[in-house]
Structure 1
Amino acid sequence: MSQLRHNLKHSAIDGTAYSVMVGLAENQFPAFVLAIGATQVTSGLVATVPICLCAILQLLTPWGVRKLGSYRLWTAGNAYLQAAALVPLIVCAWLGRVPTWLVFAAGTVYWFGSVSGGPAWTTWKCLIFPERLRARYFARRSRWCNAGVLLGLLLGGLFIERVQAASPDDSRAVLRAFAVVFTLACVARVVSGTEMLRISEPRPLDMNERDVSWREFGSKALHSFDGRFILFAGATAIAAQIAQPFFNPYVLKQVGLESARHLHAALLAAAFAGRMAVLPLAGRIAHRHGALRLAWMSAIALVPLAPLWTLSDHIGVLFAVQVLVGGMWGAFELASLLMFFDALHPRERTSILTKWNLVNYACMAGGSLIGGRLLAALGEDRRAYLIVFAASALARLLALALLMRARQPAGVVEEPTLTQPDAALPP
Structure 2
Amino acid sequence: MLKLMPQDKVRKSLKYSVLDGAFFSAMVGFGESFFAAFAVFLKATSVQIGILDALPKTLGSISQLLSNWLIRSLKSRKKLVAAGAFIEGLFYIPIALVYFFGELKIYYLIAFVSIYWILGTIITPAWTSWIGDLTDGVNRGNYFGRRNKVAGVVSLASLFAAGYILQHFREKEYIGFVIIFSIALIARMMSFYYLTKKFEPEFRIEKEEIGLLGFLSEARKTQFGIFSIFMALMNFSVYFTAPFFAPYLLRDAKLDYFSFTAVIGIGMLAKLLSMPVWGKAADRWGNRKILALSAFTMPIVPLLFVFSMNLGWLVAVQIYSGIVWAGFELAGFNFILDTTTQRSRATLVAYYNVLNGVAILVGALIAGMIIKHNSLFSSSFYLVFIISFFLRVLVSASFVPLLKEKRRVEDIAYYKLFFRIMTKLPPMDALYSIAVFPAKRLAKSFDHTRRLAEGKVPFIRRRK
| Structure 1 residue corresponding to 2:261, chosen from 265, 268, 273 | 265
Match of 2:452? none
Match of 1:69? 75
Match of 1:156? 162
Structure 2 residue 397 is matched with structure 1 residue 409: no
Match of 2:361? 365
Give the CA deviation at 1:406. Answer: 1.6
Match of 2:276? 280
Change beyond 3 A, Cα 1:396–1:73: same
Match of 2:93? 87
Match of 1:241? 239
Counterpart-to-counterpart distance in 2, 1:248 and 1:198: 36
Match of 1:418? none
Match of 2:214? 216
Equivalent AA in structure 1 for residue 166 of structure 2:
I
Counterpart-to-counterpart distance in 1, 2:129 and 2:376: 42
In structure 2, the residue corresponding to 1:46 is in which secondary structure? Answer: helix
Q: In the alignment, is the contact (CA less than 8 A) between 1:18 and 1:192 conserved in 2? A: yes
| Structure 2 residue corresponding to 1:134, chosen from 124, 131, 140 | 140
What TM-score, normalized to structure 2? 0.83
Give the CA deviation at 1:97. Answer: 8.4
Equivalent AA in structure 2 for residue 214 of structure 1:
L
In structure 2, the residue corresponding to 1:132 is in which secondary structure? Answer: coil
Give the CA deviation at 1:319. Answer: 0.5
Where structure 1 has 5 or more consecutive residues not aligned to the other structure, the ranges are 168-172, 412-427
Q: What per-residue deviation string (whole Å, max 9, x for no partner) do you get for residues 324-352 of structure 1?
A: 11221121111110011010121111111
Counterpart-to-counterpart distance in 1, 2:169 and 2:101: 16
Change beyond 3 A, Cα 1:32–1:390: same
Counterpart-to-counterpart distance in 2, 1:70 and 1:236: 33
Counterpart-to-counterpart distance in 2, 1:33 and 1:383: 20
Equivalent AA in structure 2 for residue 84 of structure 1:
L
Match of 1:108? 114
Alignment of 1:12-411 (within 5 A): 12-93=18-99, 99-164=105-170, 167=171, 173-203=172-202, 205-257=203-255, 260-379=256-375, 382-400=378-396, 401-410=398-407
Q: What per-residue deviation string (whole Å, max 9, x for no partner) do you get for residues 52-97 of structure 1?
A: 2222222111111111111111111111121122111223448998
Q: In the alignment, is the contact (CA less than 8 A) between 1:226 and 1:409 conserved in 2? A: no
Match of 1:421? none
Change beyond 3 A, Cα 1:32–1:189: same
Percent of counterpart pairs with the same letter? 26
Give the CA deviation at 1:130. Answer: 2.1
Equivalent AA in structure 1 for residue 272 of structure 2:
M
Give the CA deviation at 1:365. Answer: 1.2
Change beyond 3 A, Cα 1:13–1:382: farther
Q: What per-residue deviation string (whole Å, max 9, x for no partner) do you get for residues 285-341 of structure 1?
A: 110111110100111111111011122222111101111112211211111100110
Where structure 2 has 5 or more consecutive residues not aligned to the other structure, the ranges are 1-6, 409-464
Give the CA deviation at 1:44. Answer: 3.2
Counterpart-to-counterpart distance in 2, 1:256 and 1:181: 22
Counterpart-to-counterpart distance in 2, 1:261 and 1:145: 23
Q: In the alignment, is the contact (CA less than 8 A) between 2:30 and 2:180 conserved in 1? A: yes
Equivalent AA in structure 1 for residue 290 of structure 2:
L
Count residues with an aligned counterpart.
Answer: 401
Give the CA deviation at 1:45. Answer: 2.8
Match of 1:419? none
Give the CA deviation at 1:379. Answer: 4.5
Give the CA deviation at 1:161. Answer: 1.1
Q: In the alignment, is the contact (CA less than 8 A) between 1:274 and 1:324 conserved in 2? A: yes
Q: In the alignment, is the contact (CA less than 8 A) between 1:226 and 1:407 conserved in 2? A: no
Counterpart-to-counterpart distance in 1, 2:389 and 2:151: 27
Q: What per-residue deviation string (whole Å, max 9, x for no partner) do you get for residues 20-51 of structure 1?
A: 11111111011100111111332233111222
Q: What per-residue deviation string (whole Å, max 9, x for no partner) do you get for residues 385-426 of structure 1?
A: 221101000000110111211212359xxxxxxxxxxxxxxx
Q: In the alignment, is the contact (CA less than 8 A) between 2:10 and 2:134 conserved in 1? A: yes
Change beyond 3 A, Cα 1:226–1:294: same
What TM-score, normalized to structure 1? 0.90
Larger radius of gyration: 2
Q: What per-residue deviation string (whole Å, max 9, x for no partner) do you get for residues 225-250 of structure 1?
A: 34311111111111111111111111
Counterpart-to-counterpart distance in 2, 1:44 and 1:380: 20
Equivalent AA in structure 1 for residue 268 of structure 2:
F
Change beyond 3 A, Cα 1:112–1:284: same
Q: In the alignment, is the contact (CA less than 8 A) between 2:16 and 2:195 conserved in 1? A: yes
Q: In the alignment, is the contact (CA less than 8 A) between 2:229 and 2:355 conserved in 1? A: no
In structure 2, the residue corresponding to 1:197 is in which secondary structure? Answer: helix
In structure 2, the residue corresponding to 1:120 is in which secondary structure? Answer: helix
Q: In the alignment, is the contact (CA less than 8 A) between 1:94 and 1:176 conserved in 2? A: no
Counterpart-to-counterpart distance in 1, 2:102 and 2:311: 32
Counterpart-to-counterpart distance in 1, 2:196 and 2:46: 39
Task: Please say which of residues 236-245 and 91-100 is displaced more in the overlay.
Answer: 91-100
